[in-house]
Chains A and B, each alone.
Chain A
């Protein structure tokens, strides 16, 4: 990892810890090309903020694939298995009763409920897994204090490079963001 080096804590003249530097971009195209350059400059702890998921931005940022689908698949199948077990327990062990002369253990009539419970687990895992992977809920974030940042939810595009990045340097990073076309560059305090 690039972030192994001892972390430097930057402070403003007012004594506040620096979270990072943010820059605004006018269009998704500008944002996309700037993100490619930031990625190529070797930054790791940074993020791109846009009012909608810009197509292809993961590649422009060089993000690895998310493991969420794998987790959801495992949880969904586990849920289906538990659903089958539940029906086995109820029908075969807890309350064995012959209905219509059918065998005690038969997977056919259990298919619908097995499927439904599998779906239920998958859906919960997709949503809660999304929250967990994104470390949400997080109702406080340094960026939220910035008025300009709050307009990302409308029509602005922002790149923020965090101070915990090994390559972060208040002056150099600001200059780099400026050179890739960033406007309204601001220091973000914790």
Chain B
């Protein structure tokens, strides 16, 4: 290259064909450079002047290179937990639901708590990919893929519980409208059946959305494997005794999954429309799913469940818990993987911390509103559930009409929930906390625990003391309860680690599209 026009030089730099000299002047108050408060300056979505090629190399590197030394130990532990969980499920199916701590009064406990907990976590993925897409929030592109993956794995964990809690799982087909010899059909007036349709539709649509987003990235991985094969045919082997190269397997598997995608504009046109439609249809879907989950409770007459606030309250809680889980997974990942901090910037974390704060306030408002309605409705049973089942700790016990001390046996669960979900996110009012990955991680951890307690409080405290004191009882989990839940955590982590290892963890084509040099009007 002898003489080069200045425009060509800039263009080359923007396209990444000419290296950029990178003067880095970072304002300390701006963290890594993205925490700018000046409304006239748009914070960069990708740091360090990355070129398109840098993004491809970074993201494909997570799949193509060997992971760090941490991967096998973490994967081993996750796998072990998953194996324990599977063993517990098998034990349950062989023995019966009596292995759980369920009793006459508390017929739903950890099983349904875990179901609602996991399905709630699953909502963040669709929220990020669908609702933020419709709102044209460009920062979503760096977290949407991982969040969608997390959604699907959380829904897998969630779906396990209603399936196994029926006891005789070999009759599970009865929830589907299938012609059968008994001439029995499911009852479409029951919210439990709506739940079957909502959750299975949600799982299917999320998987389609996730897969569709990955098609161009699969094609990128395919093309890179083919180029490596063309350059030299002596890459590493899959197994020493198999005459199969890793690159060949990658070219074939990613090639098959990419459906022969070739980045044509005529294809992109249909693709973008289809993506937009999936986003548009997933938005009401995600809101409907947790609303329908809440109908399982709200349509019953049990005090503590029979509430019209449940659908919006559950949806807000789902977004809250889901974002906490995204943060729990992505904060360690961005420390462990090379260059991930360029893609997930401090501003991304700060944005998510703000969402935690907002949704935390929403659930806090819902908790308060439940008390208001218990008082305002004048329903003695409703008030009793809230005050004597949940609120009063033993040291504030009141003497009842029968001379006995009255206090809430599950006060510790209720106050853990309030502390984790309402109190801890308040630290995000302070900039120092919401821009520190460490503190965001700590709060996200508390929120995850708090959201589990929320479901436990709703389900168990409402069930354990219903209308007649004669049917009151307590719930105590058995070791099977505890290990089954730990097992689903293992299944979830195993699947997520496999995702980071083998699938494109970031939407490369979408990230490239929001980089400044992607604009056709930039010279």
Residue ranges of B at the interface with A (Cβ–Cβ < 8 Å): 8, 11-12, 14-17, 51-53, 56, 177, 183-189, 191, 193-194, 197-198, 201, 204-205, 208-209, 211-212, 216, 219-220, 222-224, 226-227, 230, 255-256, 259-274, 277-278, 281-282, 284-285, 288, 292, 295, 508-510, 512-513, 517-523
Contact = CB atoms under 8 A, between A and B. Distances in A.
B266 to A, nearest CB: 6
B224 to A, nearest CB: 7
Interface string A104-148: 001001101101110110111011011101101111110110010
A130 B274 contact: yes
Given A126-B281, A136-B259, A154-B220, A28 B186 contact: no
A69 B273 contact: yes
B271 A112 contact: no
The interface residues of chain B, by DSSP majority, are classed as helix
B514 to A, nearest CB: 9
24 contacts: A26-B17, A27-B15, A29-B520, A30-B11, A35-B265, A63-B269, A72-B274, A91-B185, A113-B193, A115-B288, A116-B285, A117-B197, A119-B205, A122-B281, A123-B278, A133-B270, A136-B260, A138-B259, A140-B260, A147-B227, A149-B262, A151-B227, A154-B53, A155-B16
Interface in A42-82: 47-58, 60-61, 63, 66, 68-69, 72, 76
Contacts of B185: 90-91, 94-95
Nearest to B8: A26
Contact of A116 (B223, B274, B288, B513): B288
B512 A52 contact: yes
A32 B523 CA distance: 12
B209 A123 contact: yes
A76 B520 contact: no
Contacts of A58: 265, 269
Given A31-B520, A51-B52, A147-B227, A109 B205 contact: no
Contacts of A129: 270, 274
A53 to B, nearest CB: 4
Nearest to B52: A155
A91 B177 CA distance: 11
A112 B205 contact: no
B195 to A, nearest CB: 9
Given A53-B269, A123-B209, 5 more contacts: A49-B265, A53-B268, A66-B269, A91-B188, A99-B187
The 6 closest A-B pairs by CB, nearest first: A155-B52, A32-B520, A53-B268, A130-B274, A95-B185, A137-B259
B266 A63 contact: yes
A152 B226 CA distance: 13
A54 B227 contact: no
Contacts of A138: 259-260
B256 A139 contact: yes
Contacts of B281: 76, 119, 122-123, 126
